[in-house]
Amino acid sequence: MAGKKAVINLATGLEDAERVTIAFLVAGAAAASGRRVAMFLTKEAVRIGVDGYTEGVACDGCPPLPRLFEQYADAAGELLVCPICFEARKLDESKLVSNARLAGATPLWEWIGDEGAEVFSY
């Protein structure tokens, strides 16, 4: 299983914090299993790539988002941020967290490469 890739497609921001939590739980589990993981952030989820955005707890009993975010980054999880969605929201590229980069459809396919990837969408 080691060496395989997983893409987590996330289109929801903190307006649905439980969905964000689940996406980070799945991404973290994939990274812990030895997979290379990229989270493709679109629509409101692009805000997750901005420093300081992932704060709080999604639900009673849910792990805190900052901890999940940190665990994902520590496991070399990447954030590929849709540049069209990012620019439409007039966000500041200099505020992207260290494991995030602006990357649209073509860079996503380049990241996936010939070996393919398992995809989960939230």
Q: Which residues constitute the domain of residue 94? A: 5-121
pTM: 0.92
Output 9 or 2, whichever has higher pLDDT: 9
Share of the chain above pLDDT 70, in %: 98
For the stretch 12-55, pLDDT in tens is 999 999 999 999 999 999 999 999 999 999 999 999 999 989 88
Residue 98 has pLDDT above 80, yes or no: yes
Instruction: Judge whether 51 and 95 are in contact, CB under 8 Å.
Output: yes
d(CA 113, CA 92): 29
Question: What is the model's pLDDT at position 70?
Answer: 94
Question: What is the model's pLDDT at position 59?
Answer: 83
Looking at the structure of the chain, the number of domains it has is 1
CATH number, domain containing residue 60: 3.40.1260.10
